[in-house]
Amino acid sequence: MRVTLFDYGAGNLHSLSKALATEPGVEVHVEEDPLRAVDTDVLVLPGVGAFGLAAARLAPGRNTMRLALERGLPCLGICLGMQLLFDSSEEGAGKGLGFFAGHVQRLAARRVPHIGWNQVDEDSTLSGAKLETVYYAHSFVCRVADPSLVTAWTTHEEDRFPAAVRRGKVVGVQFHPEKSSTSGVAFARAFLREVRS
């Protein structure tokens, strides 16, 4: 199974690559070209960086990538990667993929960024890995037009926001599985096993 991380020029992809490669039979590749990134079995949008820069790197292949997702290409969007699955963000200019209708907004909280461990409520994202407590590092959250696509919730101070969203084989998570200890790695592996079957 070929898993491709789309590299939009920010962040450390090493820990994420390492976590995904723990699943037997998985080969992880890193691709900077959004048009070539969809030539894969699973696309991963990693979770470090700023929306504006990432959207600019995505722009030349935005329509191709969106079409690939609509046609059933499995995708895991992590933190910023989840936000790129939405229409736009107040963090920066540019368009996201618009696979999920909605907008990314700054956390409505006194303490921003939200960094550290937090509980997950009502998780129904994957049958193979139940989310309970995971690691976050973010200042912006997704506001979903259709709440039925939210498969898990988290609350920081008074702001309740999606911890995970899902439509078909596309999953977005606001937390970092690769930093969420064994349960986070188990979640990433369960996603790969589910979309492979």
Distances in Å between the alpha carbon of 1 and those of 43, 63, 186, 192, 193?
A: 11, 24, 17, 9, 10
Number of domains in the chain: 1
Burial of 47 (0-12, 13-18, 19+ CB in 10 A): buried
Residue 108: pLDDT band by 50, 70, 90 thresholds? very high
Burial of 29 (0-12, 13-18, 19+ CB in 10 A): middle
Task: Please give the share of the chain, as a percent, with pLDDT higher than 90.
Answer: 90
Give me 16's structure tokens: 């994420």
Q: Is 75 a catalytic residue?
A: no
Q: Is 142 a catalytic residue?
A: no
**Which is catalytic among the residues 79, 91, 114, 156?**
79
- Contact (CB, 8 A) for 7 and 30: yes
Residues whose CB is less than 8 angstroms from the CB of residue 11 and which lie 6 or more positions away in sequence, other chains included: 46, 47, 48, 49
Q: Which residue is it, tokens 């090493």?
A: 14
Q: Give the pLDDT confidence score for residue 11 in this predicted structure.
A: 66
Give me 42's structure tokens: 């699973």
Query: Which range marks the domain in which residue 69 is found?
Result: 2-196
What would the pLDDT profile of 111-164 be if each residue is shown by its tens digit? 999 999 999 999 999 987 889 999 999 999 999 999 999 999 999 999 999 999
Q: Is 178 a catalytic residue?
A: yes
Give me 94's structure tokens: 């540019």
**Which is catalytic among the residues 75, 138, 156, 178?**
178
Distances in Å between the alpha carbon of 43 and those of 37, 111, 119, 155, 170?
A: 7, 32, 27, 28, 9
Give the separation between CA 167 and CA 197, rounded to whole angstroms: 17
Helices (H) and strands (E) in the chain, counts: 6, 12
Mean pLDDT value across the chain: 95
Residues whose CB is less than 8 angstroms from the CB of residue 14 and which lie 6 or more positions away in sequence, other chains included: none
For position 175, which CATH number holds?
Answer: 3.40.50.880
Pair type for strands 170-173 and 159-167: antiparallel
**What global pTM score does this model have?**
0.96
